[in-house]
Amino acid sequence: MADRIHIKDLLLRTIVGVNAEERNNRQDVVINLTLHTDLRAAGQSDDLDDTVNYRTVTKQVIEHVEQSEYLLVEKLAEQVAAICLGLGGVSEVDVSIDKPGALRFTRSVSVEISRSRTDG
């Protein structure tokens, strides 16, 4: 399937990291999502019910991320992927999460994962 919806540069604040300061202070994370879906019906009908409502996706991701506390960005990415795959119409998702300032002398560190409904 070649159809995709991209959600780019979603800037959120959350608790993520292993150091004491990271556990006490919310940090910025930048999330990019690619939702793999079939957009043919929506392209024909012009009906929101025939597509993945990216407003719904974004709201669910924001709610989860802002309330979460993880040690690893990898775990956060896995949970965001699960949210996306839990929505009707999303067969695969690519999740990229950047953590600005995670390492000295770098702009950010990022984790990128791809998951599908068929993953065990």
Query: Three-class SS of residue 55?
Result: helix
Whichever domain contains 45, its CATH number is: 3.30.1130.10
**How many structural domains comprise the chain?**
1
Annotated catalytic residue 99: yes
SS3 content of the chain, % helix, strand, coil (to 5): 35, 35, 30
**Interval 72-102: pLDDT, tens:** 999 999 999 999 999 989 999 999 999 998 7
72 is in which domain, residue-wise? 4-116
Q: Which of 8, 59, 75, 99 is catalytic?
A: 99
pLDDT band, residue 120 (cuts 50/70/90): low
